[in-house]
Structure 1
């Protein structure tokens, strides 16, 4: 079995990958995991600490080959406010519910959740379905949006 010895950032310039692995947002944050590339290669990732794999970054394997990391498209809600101050208030409500979010100048992206959609629309947000890669912010200490934590927070 191949082992990943390091993670290279996007635009690493270290050569052409031999294969790719497509991972959702939650799957790109890892420390130790067995991954299967598109072409069937199995790669053991066992880093000393948890890292987030960059979209179009790469795993450097112990045989010096590269496996590209690709962010999977995910079903998300795009949230837009009436103005920048309204968007900030919407972001506060999303964060208050410990929900992972991708924060941009004119929109916020979250994973689809009908309860949050109802709340946000009640606060005057425009919420639409989109499907695209998700790049949520990671918390200062850990991600509250990880599976299992939401069950504890309820």
Structure 2
């Protein structure tokens, strides 16, 4: 079985050089170690030190030098919008406080469909619009970035007490 030996970031290689494609939704593209089935039916091994999101347009370099293009499937999302930029920032804080993967755009935030989150956003005065698109959320401050990876311990408290009077 062929193995992936390198990942070329989207835009850094000529997509016309792709020998095959790996097509998946967000869950299928956020991996550490798995056998991937390519569009042709060929199976290849992905074995990374830590989980990462394979972005649309990334190139997976195989040990025989072929490059496989990553294609992100569209999936049902919710586009969160607000009345003002400040209101959108406040909604972003509430979404982030729930550790939700999110795509941050200038005038909206895209999150995966979730009726509980939709009710929360509506209760905060935000608006939810159904949307279908490939989902590639922010990777997070502690995600590995090439050689500059960091670890993030969750030993800190996640209590949500009101400390405003202190």
Alignment of 1:8-87 (within 5 A): 8-13=8-13, 16-87=17-88
Find the aligned partners of 1:119 and 1:131 in 2 and give their Cα distance.
Answer: 21
Q: 1:26 to 1:141 in 2, by over 3 A?
A: farther
- Distance apart, 1:27 and its partner CA: 2.7
Alignment of 1:107-118 (within 5 A): 107-118=108-119
- Report the TM-score, using the length of structure 1 for normalisation: 0.85
What are the ranges of 5 or more consecutive residues in structure 2 without an aligned counterpart? 144-157, 159-166
Corresponding position of 2:5 = 5
Corresponding position of 1:146 = none
| Rg larger for | 2
- Report the TM-score, using the length of structure 2 for normalisation: 0.79
CA RMSD in angstroms, aligned pairs only:
1.7
Corresponding position of 2:164 = none
- Distance apart, 1:12 and its partner CA: 2.7
Q: Runs of 4+ in structure 1 displaced over 4 angstroms?
A: none
Q: 1:96 to 1:49 in 2, by over 3 A?
A: closer
Corresponding position of 2:89 = 88
Number of residues paired by the alignment? 143
- Distance apart, 1:23 and its partner CA: 1.9
- Distance apart, 1:127 and its partner CA: 0.4
Find the aligned partners of 2:70 and 2:12 in 1 and give their Cα distance.
Answer: 12
